[in-house]
Amino acid sequence: MIAIENLTKVFKQGDKEVVAVDNLSLNIKKGEIFGIIGYSGAGKSTLTRLINRLEEPTSGKILIDGTDITKLRGGKLRKARQEIGMIFQHFNLLWSRTTEENIAFPLEIAKVPKKERQKRVQELIDLVGLSGKEKAYPAQLSGGQKQRVGIARALANRPKVLLSDEATSALDPETTNQILDLLVDINKKLGITIIVITHEMHVIRKICDRVAVMENGRIVEQGDVIDVFTNPKQHITKKFVEQLMTAPELEGEFSETLANIERSGKVLRLQFKGAKTNESLISDVSKRFPVDINIIDAKMTNTKSGLLGTLIVQVKGDKSEIEQAENYIKNASVDVEVIRDDT
């Protein structure tokens, strides 16, 4: 769908040259939600702006459905831009226009006749959940509502791709979640490819299928979100994953907690890796085997493709029963590690 090949962007600042995007290659599949995460200055925003040619690349290619958009000029470029919707951190709405007029703006640019325009605007208002706010000006809307207008506007011309540049970074956590849910919803309903630029791991975790980690203009690590999360290779990726869940053992208090636990049975570390993890695993185990399970510490998070995290439990009971329980858990595709064995 989107193929980026050896893309480089160099900014000249006086005599100095700053490489914002450095020989970057990337493939994004049709219909997926692809996340690009990095700290500020990593070059993520420049990358998005290169995708819709708000910036001219220094070298390299960007193929969208086989068309190299770096080669387009004038009218053809403008036409191509209509097929790429974009939403922004600060919404960038026209304050002189109402909700419906803002959403109609890209349709006016695409010269859609007035009747059709009104129909499309109403569809979009329903899609993003803004009914009743048609005549409101941006100044009368909350941040979340403004971003909904931004999303409706970006979708007006039925683009193939939606670029989201830190679209939730100016919103509070609850509104962020609502907007993220809306993006997933749109992705499912319309099958549109979404590229999400963010510095928040939470956003990636909640909505992305695949993720690329960006540092110094390069992609240092990429893959399915669950793989990158459970097995981060680069230092920077590990730091991002830590944002979400610090392994309990790493926290100072844990050894103290462990020392205070009665020496009996086994202390296990269960590593959940999404996919087919049974959510009622623990109660399952305690029903099937005559063992007591005591949860000592947990750090869990929900991703788009399942539960992810670490659970530390003490399993007490007969030695053979504990072993059977252990095997049962292993078969549920959960990694098990014995921290302390007092059987």
Q: Which residues of the chain form contacts with another protein (CB under 8 A)?
A: 52, 54, 77-82, 84, 86, 88, 90, 92-97, 105-106, 108-110, 137-139, 153, 157
Task: Report the residue number, 195 or 325, with the smaller CB distance to another protein.
Answer: 195
Rounded Cα distance between 303 and 195, Å, is 17
* Contacts of residue 15, Cβ cutoff 8 Å, sequence gap at least 6: none
CB of 94 to another protein, least distance (A): 6
Q: Could you tell me the smallest distance in angstroms from the CB atom of residue 32 to another protein? A: 21
Residue 323, both tokens: 């072993």
Closest separation in Å from C-beta 89 to another protein: 9
User: How distant, in Å, are the alpha carbons of 6, 36, 63, 84, 211 from that of 205?
Assistant: 28, 12, 27, 24, 9
Cβ neighbours around 131 below 10 Å, total: 9
DSSP-assigned letter for residue 248: G
Q: How far is CA 319 from CA 182, 283, 291, 335, 342, in A?
A: 50, 19, 10, 20, 10
Of 104 and 307, nearer to another protein (C-beta) is 104
Query: In the complex with another protein, which residue's Cβ is closer, 93 or 197?
Result: 93
HSE-CB for 312 with a 13 A CA cutoff: 17
Measured from the CB of residue 328, what is the shortest distance to another protein in angstroms? Answer: 54
Q: Please, what is the minimum distance in Å from the beta carbon of residue 158 to another protein?
A: 13
What one-character DSSP code corresponds to residue 138? G
Provide, rounded to whole angstroms, the least separation between the CB of residue 67 and another protein: 14
Nearer to another protein, 88 or 229 (CB): 88
Distance of CA 142 to the CA centre of its chain: 23
